[in-house]
Structure 1
Amino acid sequence: MKEQDVCEITCVESEKTTRIQQHLQNRSIVEVTKIFKALADETRMKIAFALTLEEELCVCDVANIVGATTATASHHLRHLKGLGLAKYRKEGKLVYYSLDDGHVKQLIHIAFAHQEEVAGRESISVK
């Protein structure tokens, strides 16, 4: 570890840490973690990002976009649906998926915007 990464003394602000711990107990940390784990998969992130660009896509189109079989795409889409990130509708034999709501779209756009900022800072520091 770098020297600046280590605390030299131990001091705990009891009120602050207790307040934060209470907030953490009242939140659905496990459920939120599941969302980030789902989006941590490269294929599912590609699918989710594609769904931010189009209102809805059929399973065949999703498979083509991510370079997977329809079975694989369908599996990933079901996983996203199970976590409340995506929803679907049927039209005859076709199944169309879309993101469940605007929050999911915002989450994905924020992640990409953050990554672009990080990449920009890294390219400046390399020069």
Structure 2
Amino acid sequence: MTEENICEIKSIREDLLETVNKKMKTEETYNEIAKLFKLLGDYNRLRIISALEHEELCVCELSLLLDMSQSSISHQLRLLRSNDMVKFRKKNKRVFYSLNNNQITKLITEAEEYEK
């Protein structure tokens, strides 16, 4: 960091810091948000979420669509499921996955807009 980026006068506005501190979220909230972004920081999980945004799919369909092994898809779905991002239902011998809610796709759409 260069000298021009550092305050020359050490003057603390305690009232302002107290106001900002009251408006900030709890440590637990920041940890949960960081956990969410870490989960979304994986290329393949983003692709799975994107596919499930459009249709309920089984592992074999996701595997073909995304050109990934079924074991890789299953692993990623397990992570998404354990974080309540996807849900599943069984029909006969097949298991179909879908998004648990559409809030996650709104966040991804916002990220796309941010990148433009």
Map 1:16-31 to 2 at 5 A. Answer: 16-22=16-22, 23-25=24-26, 28-31=29-32
CA deviation string 1:10-63 (max 9, x = no partner): 4443334334434322652111211110110111111112222x1311111212
Question: Match of 2:70?
Answer: 70
Shift of 1:70: 0.8
Aligned residues: 114
On the 8 A contact 1:34/1:83 being kept in 2, the answer is no
Q: Which moved more, 1:66-75 or 1:8-17?
A: 8-17
Gaps of 5+ in 1: 118-127
Question: Match of 1:93?
Answer: 93
Q: RMSD across aligned C-alpha pairs, in angstroms?
A: 2.2
Distance 1:8 1:62 in 2: 53
On the 8 A contact 1:59/1:74 being kept in 2, the answer is yes
CA deviation string 1:100-122 (max 9, x = no partner): 1121121111112222x1xxxxx
TM score, norm. by length of structure 1: 0.75
TM score, norm. by length of structure 2: 0.81
On the 8 A contact 1:51/1:57 being kept in 2, the answer is yes
The percentage of aligned residue pairs carrying the same residue is 30
Question: Match of 1:110?
Answer: 110
On the 8 A contact 1:86/1:100 being kept in 2, the answer is yes
Q: Using a 3 Å threshold, how does the CA distance of structure 1 residues 31 and 58 change in structure 2: closer, same or farther? A: same
Map 1:23-62 to 2 at 5 A. Answer: 23-25=24-26, 28-52=29-53, 54-62=54-62
